[in-house]
């Protein structure tokens, strides 16, 4: 006698319940949430600075410090851009890690400081370290410890504390007379754009998603309007605010628009943001820091709860990044 199949309704209900339960469990580990279901990014723990002051624990020095980065990570990408703009390639080395879902974190392409994973390196810096092992990391090879793992502070350090070793020490991406405007943009952009795309993608309720996506595109509209009359966020000079914005915008059409449900509009659909991204991408050295294949692979291939099938979409057409922008101002070099 043939066995009766389960009713389709029961199969669907059971499958939905199982998947939703597993999804919520995985998301709670990957993306901590508030009671309303909104994503809450944990704070960085290592916050020391480089200083040329006498008796400083971490003085600027050649061949002493390394930047540990993941090429798909927008926070790490900030540090790569400032390193290039300042001309610090010979002074500060790069160590690359890649995400490993099987290991639950970042692993080194080649063993570094006796470690196979970034989590092991964090344990060297602080035994029994309980937090997340994130990139970027500014690593001190002399004392075998982490100087700083907060990207917004690392880029300020690279901008100001290694001028004696920089090829372009005259470039100041955080000038004193513009800091108020830079900080204002940074605060707005971090909350609604940099972290805003993650608040969209990692939202665990419809209300949390709706709030995040509304704030995201409201800010993008505001930025687009501002860029109609000036080349950069704060006027005629490239600043850290532009660096911080760019690393999100360059990933937007590739990853956030689809995977993170930031689907209202693409960056290339904005009349002024499009040209702004083109101009920044075409600055000397910036394109070399943009690894589009890794970006697609890291987002679509490793964020399993958001893409359980693991299918990696083909790349959108990126030829527009290499075309001249249609803006009235196309600066070729920072601070000139």
Q: Between the CA of residue 144 and those of 58, 197, 309, what are the distances in Å?
A: 12, 34, 40
What integer pLDDT is reported at residue 22 of this predicted model?
Answer: 56
What's the pLDDT tens digit per position in 93-120?
999 999 998 887 999 999 999 999 999 9
Catalytic residue numbers, as ranges = 73, 198
Q: Are strands 105-112 and 115-117 parallel, antiparallel or unpaired?
A: antiparallel
Q: Please provide residue 137's backbone torsions phi and psi, each rounded to the nearest 5 degrees.
A: -130, 130
Average pLDDT for residues 10-20, to the nearest whole number? 64
**191 and 305: one domain?**
yes
Domain boundary among 119, 137, 165: 165
Q: What is the CATH number of the domain that holds 234?
A: 1.20.1050.10
The Cα–Cα gap between 97 and 178 comes to 34
The Cα–Cα gap between 320 and 171 comes to 28
Strand partners, 232: 235
The Cα–Cα gap between 166 and 263 comes to 40
Q: Is residue 14 a part of any domain in this protein?
A: no
CB atoms within 10 A of CB 86: 26
By the 8 A CB rule, do 54 and 127 touch?
no
The Cα–Cα gap between 242 and 259 comes to 24
The Cα–Cα gap between 144 and 90 comes to 20
Q: Is residue 86 a part of any domain in this protein?
A: yes
Q: What is the CATH number of the domain that holds 97?
A: 3.40.30.10
Average pLDDT for residues 31-41, to the nearest whole number? 63
**205 and 294: one domain?**
yes
**157 and 216: one domain?**
no
Average pLDDT for residues 228-255, to the nearest whole number? 97
The Cα–Cα gap between 16 and 18 comes to 6
Average pLDDT for residues 159-165, to the nearest whole number? 98
Written as one string, the DSSP assignment of 95-139 is EEEEEETTTTEEEEEEEETTEEEHHHHHHHHSTT--S---S-EEE
**144 and 246: one domain?**
no
What integer pLDDT is reported at residue 75 of this predicted model?
Answer: 98
**158 and 206: one domain?**
no
**93 and 196: one domain?**
no
What integer pLDDT is reported at residue 36 of this predicted model?
Answer: 65
- Binned at pLDDT 50, 70 and 90, residue 328 comes out as confident
Average pLDDT, the chain: 91
- Unique residue bearing structure tokens 């390193």: 83
The Cα–Cα gap between 63 and 61 comes to 7
Q: Between the CA of residue 299 and those of 88, 92, 217, 319, what are the distances in Å?
A: 28, 27, 21, 21
**315 and 291: one domain?**
yes
Q: Is residue 218 a part of any domain in this protein?
A: yes
What integer pLDDT is reported at residue 40 of this predicted model?
Answer: 64
Give the single-character DSSP code of 63: T
Average pLDDT for residues 46-72, to the nearest whole number? 96
Residue 331 has pLDDT above 60, yes or no: no
Percent of the chain with pLDDT over 90: 78
Q: How many domains does the chain have?
A: 2
- Binned at pLDDT 50, 70 and 90, residue 41 comes out as low
Region of 239 please: left (phi>0), alpha (psi -120 to 50) or beta: beta
Average pLDDT for residues 190-201, to the nearest whole number? 96
Q: Is residue 38 a part of any domain in this protein?
A: no
Q: 21-35, 183-197, 227-241, 276-290: which has the minimum mean pLDDT?
A: 21-35
CB atoms within 10 A of CB 292: 17
Q: Is residue 11 a part of any domain in this protein?
A: no
Q: Is residue 282 a part of any domain in this protein?
A: yes
- Binned at pLDDT 50, 70 and 90, residue 336 comes out as very low
What's the pLDDT tens digit per position in 138-154?
999 999 999 999 999 99
- Does this model's pTM top 0.85? My answer is yes
The Cα–Cα gap between 213 and 249 comes to 15
Average pLDDT for residues 53-73, to the nearest whole number? 97
**189 and 93: one domain?**
no
**137 and 225: one domain?**
no
What integer pLDDT is reported at residue 304 of this predicted model?
Answer: 82
**160 and 294: one domain?**
no
- Binned at pLDDT 50, 70 and 90, residue 309 comes out as confident
Q: Is residue 329 a part of any domain in this protein?
A: no
**197 and 291: one domain?**
yes
Domain boundary among 144, 165, 186: 165
Domain boundary among 114, 141, 165: 165
Half-sphere exposure for 17 (CA within 13 Å, toward CB): 6
Residue 236 has pLDDT above 70, yes or no: yes
Residue 238 has pLDDT above 60, yes or no: yes
Residue 38 has pLDDT above 90, yes or no: no
- Domain extent for 191: 176-322
- Binned at pLDDT 50, 70 and 90, residue 44 comes out as confident
The Cα–Cα gap between 102 and 302 comes to 9
- Reference 198, options 310, 273, 306; nearest CA is 306
Q: Is residue 18 a part of any domain in this protein?
A: no
Average pLDDT for residues 254-264, to the nearest whole number? 97
The Cα–Cα gap between 253 and 315 comes to 9
**150: Cβ–Cβ under 8 A, 6 or more apart, which residues?**
44, 46, 47
What integer pLDDT is reported at residue 306 of this predicted model?
Answer: 86
Residue 231 has pLDDT above 80, yes or no: yes
**155 and 187: one domain?**
no
Average pLDDT for residues 248-261, to the nearest whole number? 97
């Amino acid at each position: 006698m043939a066995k009766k199949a389960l009713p389709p309704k029961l199969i669907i209900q059971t499958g939905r319940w199982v998947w939703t339960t597993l999804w919520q469990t995985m998301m709670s580990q990957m993306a901590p949430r508030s009671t309303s279901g909104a994503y809450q990014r944990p704070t960085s723990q290592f916050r020391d600075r480089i200083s040329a002051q006498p008796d400083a624990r971490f003085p600027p020095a050649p061949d002493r410090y390394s930047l540990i980065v993941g090429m798909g990570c927008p926070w790490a990408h900030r540090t790569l851009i400032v390193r290039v703009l300042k001309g610090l390639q010979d002074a500060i080395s790069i160590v690359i890690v890649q995400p490993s879902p099987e290991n639950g974190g970042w692993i080194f392409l080649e063993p570094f400081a006796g470690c196979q994973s970034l989590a092991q390196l964090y344990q060297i810096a602080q035994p029994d370290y309980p937090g997340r092992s994130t990139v970027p990391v500014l690593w001190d090879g002399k004392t075998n410890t982490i100087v700083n793992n907060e990207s917004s502070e690392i880029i300020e350090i690279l901008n100001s504390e290694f001028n004696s070793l920089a090829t372009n020490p005259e470039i100041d991406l955080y000038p004193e007379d513009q800091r108020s405007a830079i900080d204002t943009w940074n605060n707005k952009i971090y909350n609604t754009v940099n972290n805003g795309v993650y608040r969209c993608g990692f939202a665990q309720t419809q209300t949390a998603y709706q709030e995040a996506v509304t704030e995201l595109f409201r800010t993008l509209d505001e930025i687009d309007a501002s860029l109609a009359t000036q080349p950069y966020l704060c006027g005629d000079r490239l600043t850290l605010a532009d660096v911080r914005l760019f690393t999100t915008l360059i990933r937007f059409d590739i990853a956030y628009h689809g995977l993170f449900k930031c689907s209202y509009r693409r960056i290339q659909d904005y009349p002024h943001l499009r040209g702004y991204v083109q101009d920044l991408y075409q600055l000397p050295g910036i394109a070399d820091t943009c690894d589009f294949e890794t970006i697609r692979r890291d987002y679509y291939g490793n964020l399993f709860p958001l893409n359980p099938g693991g299918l990696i979409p083909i790349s959108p057409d990126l030829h527009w990044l290499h075309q001249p922008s249609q803006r009235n101002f196309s600066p070729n070099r920072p601070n000139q």
